[in-house]
């Protein structure tokens, strides 16, 4: 158990990266109401950072809670407790989260935090669960958790849990975070939302098809997001990630991305990032010899 892991690994800081939806199609709806999707996930090198501190009392706790989120409802706490209940593990942990990703922005911050907790504690607690089992557990926490456990850019179907590795250009990205919170449930329940898009293949995406079926509905209901897309589109094609609120554009070079970033920074909260196909978490695990 814990004694088999180098003590120094408990001192490491672990990334929980953001994701972008490079495509989002709604191709149907299950009887239980969940939407059937086709999407492409890619990570960007913008991350929350998490440290795990062992606790001998077997309790899972947070070093510092997020305002408005009860500790028991925090996704990292839920993920750690889920691991304990699934394996019978008696160990405890205090979780320290440095939040950099905006909440409710469509970047998957909470889901990524949960995935990092699942993946890293599985190693630190020496539980031996497979990636497939961690994905199953992660799906019970949220539809975006599986891809963060998967650890690679992916073509995704189902509700987002059927994943196939994909390699896409690792472009520079400018992300605008409008000052609003999109109610995802409201968007997916909107009467005008397209729910019968024609299924496409990976080759269609690679050829340039990358629509987001939620974009028109979101822009119609949130003027500030529409404004952000208009401002960003001056520099490159502006796209919505997930149901937003964040919008992004890809750039072929760092220099052109920086020009857009600097120009937009006076009006918007803006992030400059690099698209990456391998999750920073997976890269970190390999570097720490925890990948096997």
Catalytic residues: 19, 144
Q: What are phi and psi of 282, to 5 degrees?
A: -65, -40
**Residue 97 β-bridge partners:** 50
**Residue 167 β-bridge partners:** none
Q: What are phi and psi of 140, to 5 degrees?
A: -70, -15
Nearest to 144 by CA among 9, 288, 279, 285: 279
Q: Where are the beta strands (DSSP E) in 127-268?
A: 154-158, 162-165, 172-177, 239-240, 247-251
Query: What CA–CA distance (Å, rounded) separates 197 from 169?
Result: 25
> Token pair 């009467």 is at which residue?
191
For 289, the token pair is 């010899």
């Amino acid at each position: 158990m814990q004694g088999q892991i180098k003590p120094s690994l408990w001192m490491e800081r672990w990334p929980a990266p953001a994701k972008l939806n490079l495509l989002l199609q709604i191709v149907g709806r299950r009887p239980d109401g969940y939407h059937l999707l086709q999407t492409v996930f890619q990570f960007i090198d913008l991350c929350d950072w998490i440290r795990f501190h062992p606790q001998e009392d077997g309790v899972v706790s947070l070093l510092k809670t997020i305002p408005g989120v009860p500790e028991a409802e925090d996704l990292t706490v839920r993920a750690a407790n889920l691991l304990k209940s699934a394996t019978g593990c008696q160990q405890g942990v205090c979780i320290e989260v440095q939040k950099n990703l905006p909440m409710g922005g469509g970047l998957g911050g909470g889901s990524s935090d949960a995935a990092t907790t699942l993946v890293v504690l599985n190693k630190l607690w020496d539980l031996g669960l497979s990636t497939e089992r961690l994905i199953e557990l992660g799906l019970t926490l949220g539809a975006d958790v599986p891809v963060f456990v998967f650890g690679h850019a992916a073509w995704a179907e189902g509700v987002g849990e059927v994943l196939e590795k994909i390699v896409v250009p690792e472009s520079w990205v400018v992300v605008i975070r409008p000052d609003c919170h999109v109610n995802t449930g409201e968007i997916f329940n909107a009467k005008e939302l397209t729910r019968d898009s024609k299924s496409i293949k990976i080759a269609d995406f690679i050829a340039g098809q990358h629509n987001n079926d939620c974009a028109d509905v979101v822009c119609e209901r949130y003027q500030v997001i529409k404004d952000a897309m208009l401002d960003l589109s001056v520099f490159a094609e502006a796209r919505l990630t997930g149901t937003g609120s964040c919008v992004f554009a890809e750039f072929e070079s760092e220099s052109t991305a920086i020009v857009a970033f600097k120009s937009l920074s006076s009006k918007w909260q803006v992030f400059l990032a690099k698209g990456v196909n391998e999750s920073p978490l997976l890269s970190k695990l390999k570097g720490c010899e925890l990948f096997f």
